[in-house]
Amino acid sequence: MAKTIALVGAFDTKGAEYDFVRQLIEARGHRTLLVDVGVLGEPTMAVSISRAEVARAGGADLERLQVGKDRGEAVATMSRGAAVLLPQLWAAGRFDGVLALGGTGGTSVACAAMRALPMGVPKVMVSTVAGGDVSGYVGVHDIVMIPSIVDVSGINRISREVFARAAGAICGMVEAVIPSGDDRPLIAASMFGNTTPAVEAAKSILERHGYEVLVFHCTGAGGRTMESLIDAGRIAGVLDITTTEWADELVGGVFAGGPTRLEAAARQGVPAVVTPACLDMVNFWAPETVPAAFKDRRFYPHNPNITLMRTNVEENQQLGAILAEKLNASCGPVTVVLPLQGLSMIDAPGGLFWWPEADHALFAALKTTLRSDIPVIELDCNVNDPPFAECCAERLLAELQKISQ
């Protein structure tokens, strides 16, 4: 069955390249929808959505952009416009997947549009920056980045192969049939190596009660992805056992989840159980990457590439207050569960990170700052002891059952 693939790009400066992939896509039996985001010369082929339409959607007049010749303003405007129009076109059933080619400017515009589309929409970006850090372009979205190898500047021996395979990739993606499955309500759970026993045990309980559990690794990107799925309305409940990303956010570790971590469930009213697990640690890369300012702190070599640093009393006081402030915004049911015998495998009696004063500072600040109507359950066990996992799972199940009644 023929599908439609949106091609988002500058059809003035990149017309030959887009015409090449357009022909390949159409030769395979599919249609194309051409969305022009160029602002320089005239497009070299007939387009479906004009640059004037994109500029208007971005809040500007195309002629003013062209007269002003401010590249930064033009890229920002066309990025906004494309991010407005692409979701509208998708909702109207105008296309089934999207492909773009470009340098830094084209990548910025096209990826802004792709990030605005729902998860699952096939998205392929051929880019000159795809071989480096593309987190600023991709975010937490399912965008496939393909290195262009050479600049997107004409059809040559290298670009011909790269573009042809990119066209094949997007065609294959829109042709793919997703098998049906046992789609049960989704629970989002946060996990780290130091909370694996707790999360796996809770996951088993939730699955026995008819839920599907999506586990997110708390590496910054994992937490942001979990938050985005909650915001998208795809999650029925949240088992946020591992809130360690806030320690990295506060102290400057490499796994920071951003300042909005813990806000999605609170904002959407999704039932949540939250614990301060792994807030005893901040993550750095190999030992030589740890900032000199921390040289006198307590460290644990998680593996040759990850070094853990113990959070201190002052940091834990701040973390407790931060968690409480985030949870105080909850418009749905939320419960806090505290493991009084340690926040991780190594924050346990006899463990290298065992520091009761630091943990108690966190607990005290959290309870003092937390809204009085938010329940706090304190268990005299470590986060990875079976009773802790059972309590978290059963509390979440109870709240989900109330909503379903």
Q: What is the pLDDT of residue 404?
A: 81
The total of other beta-carbon atoms located within 10 Å of residue 126's CB is: 30
Report the chain (405 residues): mean pLDDT per 10 consecutive residues.
97 97 98 96 95 96 84 93 98 98 96 97 98 94 97 97 98 96 94 98 98 97 96 96 98 97 98 98 97 97 97 98 98 98 98 98 98 98 98 98 85
Q: What is the pLDDT of residue 156?
A: 97
CATH fold match for the domains 4-175 and 186-404: yes
Exposure string of 11-40, with b = 16+ CB inside 10 Å and e = fewer, is: bbbbbebbbbbbebbeebebbbbbbbbbbe
Residue 213, strand partner residues: 187
Q: What is the pLDDT of residue 290?
A: 98
Q: What is the pLDDT of residue 43?
A: 95
Q: What is the pLDDT of residue 405?
A: 72
Q: What is the pLDDT of residue 66?
A: 86
What residue segments make up the domains of the chain, in order of their start? 4-175, 186-404
pTM of the model: 0.88
Q: What is the pLDDT of residue 69?
A: 78
Range list of β-strands (E), 201-354: 212-217, 237-242, 272-277, 281-284, 299-303, 306-310, 334-339
Domain 186-404 indexed as CATH 3.30.470.10: no
359 contacts 380 by C-beta, under 8 angstroms? no
Domain 4-175 indexed as CATH 3.40.50.12020: yes
